[in-house]
Amino acid sequence: MDRPSGTSYQRFPRVRIRELKDDYAKFELRDTDASMANALRRVMIAEVPTVAIDLVEIEVNSSVLNDEFIAHRLGLIPLTSAAAMQMRFSRDCDACDGDGSCEYCSVEFHLSVHATDSDQTLEVTSNDLRSMDPKVCPVDQARAYQHALGGTDPFGANASNENRGILIVKLRRGQELRLRAIARKGIGKDHAKWSPAATVTFMYEPDIRINEELMETLTVEERISLIESSPTKVFELDSANQVNLFSLVVVKNAEAYTYDDEVIKHAEAIGKPGLVEITAKEDSFVFTVETTGAITAYELIMNAITVLRQKLDAVRLQDDDGDLGELGAHLGGP
Give the binding site for another protein (CB under 8 A).
34-35, 37-39, 41-42, 45-46, 58, 61, 64, 66-69, 72, 76, 188-189, 191-193, 195, 199-204, 231-232, 256, 258-260, 262, 280, 288, 290
Nearer to another protein, 144 or 286 (CB): 286
Nearer to another protein, 71 or 215 (CB): 71
Characterize 26-44 residue by residue with b for buried, 16 or more Cβ atoms within 10 angstroms of its Cβ, and e for exposed.
bbbbbebeeebbeebbebb
State the amino acid at position 309 in one-letter form. R
Closest separation between CB of residue 224 and another protein, Å?
Answer: 16
Nearer to another protein, 66 or 318 (CB): 66
Nearer to another protein, 231 or 322 (CB): 231
Containing 71, the helix (H) or strand (E) segment is helix 67-75
Closest separation between CB of residue 231 and another protein, Å?
Answer: 5
Nearer to another protein, 61 or 81 (CB): 61
* Nearest one of 276, 82, 70 to 168, comparing CA atoms: 70
Closest separation between CB of residue 194 and another protein, Å?
Answer: 9
Torsion over CA: 154, 159, 160, 165 (sign): negative
Closest separation between CB of residue 192 and another protein, Å?
Answer: 3
* Nearest one of 188, 190, 185, 183 to 85, comparing CA atoms: 185
Residue 227 to residues 147, 214, 232, Cα–Cα distance (Å): 45, 15, 9
Torsion over CA: 193, 195, 196, 198 (sign): negative
Closest separation between CB of residue 296 and another protein, Å?
Answer: 18
